[in-house]
Amino acid sequence: MRATIAAAIAGLVAGLLAGWEPAAEPADEAPASVEASDPEAACERQRRALTARQDFLERRGHELLYESIVERYKVGKAAGEPISWPAEPPARLVRDRLQEMLADAARKLDASVIEMDCEEYPCLSVIRQPAGAASPFAREVSGAYRRFDIIEHRVEVGDVAYEAALFYPKTWAGRDELLERLRFRAETRVDWQAGVAQ
């Protein structure tokens, strides 16, 4: 984990993320006057400050890792443009319906849905499951979602697998600019999840 974050920071310094503004570092708590004569209170204040600092550094590390992955994929790959949601999307691609389907499929295959990103169309789902296990996405494509195509990206880290997928209308076949965007989203998100786990 530390080596992965260090590599991400090195990529930032190299200029991959020029112009990125990090979140402000948490401010230290001002010691209360009572703590001057109360060692336990002073110890508790230091513990809270260290915990806040640790949480901040972990969030920063995760942010840097994701940003470096995104920038790396942009080299030699088309990221495409964000895709807006249509006024009337297919019912099975709406967040609530998709979540319900994936939760049911995941339970049957010893998997868990760890991310659902619906900021742009269509929703991107990420699952975690034991390495080598059958994918719930593939199962659903052959069942309830057989009228849709799917883009998947899977990475295994030790005995755990991370898989991202996006269901999309079959009418998108041959529309490379749309499919490139879906591939970009799937690859960057699942690689980030796998990187954080290392």
pLDDT for 10 equals 42
pLDDT band at 6 (very low <50, low <70, confident <90, very high): very low
For the chain, state the CA radius of gyration: 21
Alpha-carbon distances of 119 from 17, 71, 83, 95, 96, rounded to whole Å: 22, 20, 9, 10, 14
Angle at 130 between CA 124 and CA 136, to 5 degrees: 45
Q: What is the pLDDT of residues 68-108, one digit of tens each?
A: 656 655 554 567 788 999 999 999 999 999 999 888 888 88
Q: Within 13 Å, how many C-alpha atoms sit on residue 156's CB side?
A: 8
**What mean pLDDT comes out for the span 124-129?**
91
Angle at 155 between CA 154 and CA 156, to 5 degrees: 125
Residues 6+ apart with CB under 8 A from 46: none
Q: By C-alpha distance, which of 60, 8, 194, 1 is closest to 114?
A: 194
pLDDT band at 197 (very low <50, low <70, confident <90, very high): low
Q: What is the pLDDT of residues 133-182, one digit of tens each?
A: 888 887 787 778 888 999 998 888 889 898 999 999 999 988 888 998 89
3-class state of residue 164 by DSSP: strand
pLDDT for 87 equals 94
